[in-house]
């Protein structure tokens, strides 16, 4: 016999949690189901544990930069201890979330859910009927279609390593590959990145990306561009051979670990969306402005699995979860506003952006001035010997609006939020110049960027 609920949420990450909690608070009968521990990628297998590792790597970087300027001795990362510390952030949340949801009256289930028909889900031997079903399953590593793909470690695997291998190859040159490469290099590994494209991080300002690549190479990370991986082979001694093609011909690399860092795709496999008449494409579940399926009005989607204008980031998933919950409870009245959504690559130094790039602004026919400078000579960089720092800010002619801001530096991930406020709330460059900021502080530098 099927169990019936007003709302069933598939996926208990940040999007799904917001939907479940808010619809339950509004009096709906709610169930959640996930095949993985509750909490989602960011909390358990992504952003949060990664940032813990980044923190340790930053300490190493600061210590090395300050050698001869008051800091003596050599610090090192104890990987085992670091993993123990990381687990203090990831071990507790799944059970805490399950307990919290249950206490609020949300029914909790585990397992792979798939659609039987437009409103029915099967999870193991149980079936559930939902008046509304929300898909919030997130994303998964993109299939690469290479021989030996099953030998690759995922980002989740990397974050669970009990010991750090000596030689690591990262396939790809996006967020995951760059961030983990910087962590591994600071922890003492020999790191190689194999990037299929001629450039990395295409969503970011190319001048600052070039500066980041300089910093990346300077810490000993080998980046091979236009290098397409063909096959991964595990040798008898346990090492891996990575066979690749590049403009220079065939190449071969050896590693103790090969990590998939070549991107992620919406996690729709196994849901059998066809049974529910849910339209989807390579970007995810196709939804309207209310995050409702365009082909099945009883289905909503939020987060990385939804084909929206939002970029696949945790704050966007939270926003979309809130929008979906509102529209379930009150009817379709709310849409997501993605204005001023920032994005950061947590390398060392960090790379951040918000708003438009030069290319995007030009494509829109906007007239603007560009303030661009490398800032290694600025006090905020010199005091800790930061060598690779800079900014680029786009200001619209006539309106004085901030069209885009791009930062590279140790504090870029924090300072970018000042520009987020400016873009989101239509503050002008003049508004920023007139503001009295704390000094000395990295955020006060924005007065000189506009």
Give me the active site residues, please. Answer: 439
d(CA 315, CA 257): 31
d(CA 256, CA 168): 6
User: Token match 């949690």: residue?
Assistant: 17
**CA end-to-end span of the chain, whole Å?**
64
In the chain, count of helices (H) and strands (E)? 13, 24
Contact indicator for 301, 267 with CB cutoff of 8 Å:
no
Q: Decide: helix, strand or coil at residue 149.
A: helix
Distance of CA 293 to the CA centre of its chain: 24
List Cα–Cα distances, 279 to 38, 49, 268, in angstroms.
26, 34, 11
State the DSSP code for 377: T
Q: Residue 251 is encoded by which pair of tokens?
A: 């190449």
Compute the distance between CA of residue 303 and CA of residue 310 in angstroms, rounded to an integer.
8
Q: Which two tokens stand for residue 170?
A: 């990262």
Q: Record the tokens describing residue 268, joined without a space.
A: 């729709």
């Amino acid at each position: 016999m099927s169990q019936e609920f007003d709302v069933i949420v598939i996926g208990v990450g940040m999007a799904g949690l917001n939907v479940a909690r808010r619809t339950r608070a509004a009096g709906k009968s709610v169930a959640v189901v996930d095949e993985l521990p509750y909490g989602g990628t960011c909390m358990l297998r992504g952003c949060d544990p990664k940032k813990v590792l980044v923190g340790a790597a930053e300490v190493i970087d600061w210590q090395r930069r300050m050698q001869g300027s008051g800091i003596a001795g050599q610090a090192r990362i104890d990987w085992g201890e670091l993993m123990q510390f990381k687990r203090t952030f990831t071990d507790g949340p799944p059970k805490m979330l399950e307990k919290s949801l249950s206490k609020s009256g949300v029914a909790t289930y585990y397992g792979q859910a798939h659609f039987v028909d437009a409103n029915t889900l099967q999870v193991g031997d149980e079936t559930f009927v939902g008046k509304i079903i929300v898909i919030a399953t997130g994303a998964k590593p993109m299939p690469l279609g290479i021989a030996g793909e099953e030998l690759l470690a995922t980002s989740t695997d990397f974050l669970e390593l009990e010991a750090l291998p000596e030689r690591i190859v990262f396939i790809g040159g996006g967020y995951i590959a760059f961030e983990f490469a910087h962590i591994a290099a600071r922890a003492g590994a020999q790191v190689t990145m194999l990037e299929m494209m001629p450039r990395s991080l295409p969503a970011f300002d190319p001048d600052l990306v070039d500066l980041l690549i300089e910093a990346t190479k300077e810490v000993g990370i080998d980046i091979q561009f236009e290098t397409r991986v063909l096959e991964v082979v595990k040798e008898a001694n346990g090492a891996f051979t990575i066979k690749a093609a590049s403009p220079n011909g065939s190449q071969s690399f050896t590693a103790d670990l090969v990590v998939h860092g070549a991107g992620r795709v919406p996690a729709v496999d196994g849901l059998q969306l066809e049974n529910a008449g849910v339209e989807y494409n390579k970007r995810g579940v196709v939804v309207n402005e209310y995050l409702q399926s365009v082909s099945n009005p009883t289905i909503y989607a939020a987060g990385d699995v939804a084909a929206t204008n939002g970029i696949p980031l945790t704050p966007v998933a939270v926003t979309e979860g809130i929008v979906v919950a509102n529209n379930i409870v009150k009817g379709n009245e709310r849409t997501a506003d993605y204005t001023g959504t920032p994005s950061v690559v947590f390398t060392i130094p960090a790379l951040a952006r918000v708003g438009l790039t030069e290319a995007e602004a030009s494509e829109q026919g906007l007239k603007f001035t560009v303030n661009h400078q490398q800032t290694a000579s600025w006090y905020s960089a010199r005091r800790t010997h930061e060598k690779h720092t800079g900014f680029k800010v786009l200001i619209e002619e006539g309106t004085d609006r901030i069209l885009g801001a791009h930062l590279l530096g140790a504090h870029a991930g924090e300072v970018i939020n000042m520009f987020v406020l400016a873009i989101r709330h239509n503050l002008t460059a003049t508004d920023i110049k007139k503001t009295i900021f704390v000094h000395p502080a990295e955020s006060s530098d924005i007065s000189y960027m506009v």
